[in-house]
Amino acid sequence: MPNYQLPIINPSTTLRANHQSPITNHQLPDVSVVVPIKDEVESLPLLLEAISSTLTANELSYEIICVDDGSSDGSAEFLKEQAQIRTDLKAVILRRNYGQTAAMSAGFNYATAKVIVTLDADLQNDPA
């Protein structure tokens, strides 16, 4: 199992029976969007905006979990910065490239919604 460089929450934390977040005591989001990232720094701003605007327009609460899988183009640094600014973003940074399956698994570990949606970061599939 990969080592996480920047854990956002402790995956061993159990959720309460009323489905509230163990960190904030707020209701859990409707949707967790898990996005594995590998050298996608140029597409990340547009990707995050497209996801958030689409889910907001559909009146869904959400969290975006971006898992950096050993990027060397500045993607990890961008995600770390954005996670400090955005309340809807969790950045999970893997120490090295483990592959898409491991990145997805890491994202699932951090997801808190009952519904999990996966999305590629390259914008070849429209997030909307």
pLDDT tens readout for residues 33-86: 999 999 999 999 999 999 999 999 999 999 999 999 999 999 999 999 999 999
Separation between Cα atoms, residue 69 and residue 115, nearest integer Å: 23
* pLDDT at res. 122: 82
Which domains, from first to last, does the chain contain? 31-118 (3.90.550.10)
128 pLDDT band, cuts 50/70/90, is: low
Contact 90, 83 (CB under 8 A): yes
Mean pLDDT of the 83-90 span: 96
pTM over 0.85: no
Mean pLDDT of the chain: 83
25 has a pLDDT exceeding 70: no
Number of Cβ within a 10 Å radius of residue 43: 17
Instruction: Give, as one character, the DSSP assignment of residue 94.
Output: B
* pLDDT at res. 28: 93
* pLDDT at res. 124: 78
- Which tokens belong to 81? 């910065």
Higher pLDDT, 28 or 8: 28
Higher pLDDT, 27 or 72: 72
Higher pLDDT, 20 or 96: 96
